[in-house]
């Protein structure tokens, strides 16, 4: 099975059936819409407000019919969480001043990390760190929550930030403020 976010659920409105992706249930399902549900050995239709954690909802994963527990689907029917506020950390300490460059020697390595708020931690998150300016570089993968950044040459100002993306979030992506490093001799 892919994920509950990309699974397609059958929704019936006014006698017509529709297919809705899991990450779109909140936006598209109305209170009177019916969902295909299995409770015990019985298959039936239910409105979203009548779902139980132990119900099974019928969905499609590609062309394959599957089922997902009510406990996993119910959160998809609630307002999606925001990725903000996110905390950016340097060597484990939260950054509070993004306006003042961090002065350091050329070639110094810093551990950088971004942490989304607790409401969004359960979402499937992806990270993309980037060098916005300067000649510093990542010495680890730039596609991780925590990365290592090496400050560039003497006299160079390097700015980096991270773009966090998540299926199922209120906004599909969030870009952190840039952290600046100034390499001194």
Report residue 131: phi and psi, to 5°.
Answer: -90, 115
Q: For tokens 């110094």, name the residue.
A: 108
Name the pLDDT band for 2 (thresholds 50, 70, 90): low
Beta bridge partners of 5: none
Mean predicted confidence (pLDDT) in 59-69: 89
Q: For residue range 67-79, what is the model confidence (pLDDT) as tens digits?
A: 899 999 999 999 9
- DSSP strand pairing (102-105 vs 179-184): parallel
Report residue 89: phi and psi, to 5°.
Answer: -120, 145
Neighbours of 23 (CB within 10 A): 21
Nearest to 22 by CA among 63, 57, 64, 47: 57
- DSSP strand pairing (93-94 vs 125-133): unpaired
Q: Which domains does the chain have, with CATH numbers?
A: 8-77 (no CATH), 87-184 (2.60.40.10)
Nearest to 27 by CA among 73, 71, 83, 77: 77
Q: For residue range 133-184, what is the model confidence (pLDDT) as tens digits?
A: 999 999 999 999 999 999 999 999 999 999 999 988 999 899 999 999 999 9
pTM: 0.79
């Amino acid at each position: 099975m892919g994920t509950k976010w990309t699974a397609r659920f059958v929704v019936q409105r006014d006698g017509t059936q529709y297919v809705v992706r899991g990450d779109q249930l909140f936006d598209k399902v109305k209170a009177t819409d019916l969902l295909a549900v299995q409770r015990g050995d019985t298959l039936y239709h239910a409105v979203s407000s009548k779902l139980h954690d132990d119900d099974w909802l019928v969905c499609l994963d590609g062309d394959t019919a599957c089922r997902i527990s009510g406990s996993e689907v119910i959160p998809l029917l609630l307002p999606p969480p925001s990725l903000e506020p996110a905390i950016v950390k340097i060597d484990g300490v939260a950054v509070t001043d993004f306006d003042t460059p961090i002065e350091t020697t050329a070639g110094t390595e810093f551990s950088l990390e971004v942490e989304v708020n607790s409401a969004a931690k359960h979402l499937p998150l992806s990270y993309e760190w980037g060098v916005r300016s300067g000649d510093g570089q990542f010495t680890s993968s730039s596609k991780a929550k925590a990365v290592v950044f090496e400050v560039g040459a003497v006299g160079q100002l390097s700015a980096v930030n991270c773009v966090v993306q998540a299926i199922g979030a209120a906004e599909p992506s969030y870009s952190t403020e840039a952290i600046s490093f100034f390499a001194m001799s």
